[in-house]
């Protein structure tokens, strides 16, 4: 569950982001406490707090004094936008560079993606989003 090659606080933040994105942790729901995260992952509470603080800084979580941390309104959409931009940077931009080298245009790429998606049972135009 824990990836030894990455900072633990980043992994904690990413797991909470994943839960917000997939709806497990909906907007306005209470997020796990620092102590709950520390106990669950068997890590130092300060490490868990650093992951939580990162999400507070990104306006994904907010604190209700005396109650705990909660998922901010609009957090899911903000995270989806951020992840889509990262996806484009990491995958789409290099794909476009390689396609250009191969002489493929946007229509060629779209056809290739549709063919591969249907072969793998992945997202298609009709079931996207």
Longest dimension (CA), the chain: 60
Q: What digits encode the pLDDT tens for the residues 97-113?
A: 999 999 999 999 999 99
Q: What is the pLDDT of residues 16-59, one digit of tens each?
A: 999 999 999 999 999 999 999 999 999 999 999 999 999 999 99
Considering the domain 8-73, what is its CATH architecture?
Orthogonal Bundle (1.10)
- Which of the pair, 103 or 2, is modelled with greater confidence? 103
- Coil, strand or helix at 70: strand
Q: What's the gap between Cα 97 and its chain centre?
A: 25
Q: How far apart are CA 104 and CA 5, in angstroms?
A: 37
Per-residue pLDDT tens over the stretch 72-87: 999 999 999 999 999 9
Those residues whose C-beta lies under 8 Å from the C-beta of residue 109, and which sit 6 or more positions away, are 95, 96, 99
Which 8-state DSSP code applies to residue 24?
A: S
**Domain locations along the chain:** 8-73, 76-127
Q: What global pTM score does this model have?
A: 0.79
């Amino acid at each position: 569950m824990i990836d030894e090659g990455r900072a633990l606080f980043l992994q904690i933040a990413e797991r909470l982001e994943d839960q917000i994105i997939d709806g497990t942790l909906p907007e306005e729901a209470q997020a796990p406490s620092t102590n709950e995260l520390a106990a669950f992952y068997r890590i130092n509470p300060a490490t868990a707090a650093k992951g939580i603080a990162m999400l507070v800084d990104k306006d994904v979580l907010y604190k209700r004094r005396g109650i705990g941390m909660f998922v901010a309104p609009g957090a899911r959409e903000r995270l989806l936008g951020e992840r889509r931009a990262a996806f484009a940077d990491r995958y789409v931009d290099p794909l476009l560079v390689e396609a250009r080298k191969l002489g493929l245009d946007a229509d060629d790429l779209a056809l290739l993606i549709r063919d591969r998606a249907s072969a793998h049972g992945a997202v298609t135009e009709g079931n996207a989003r």
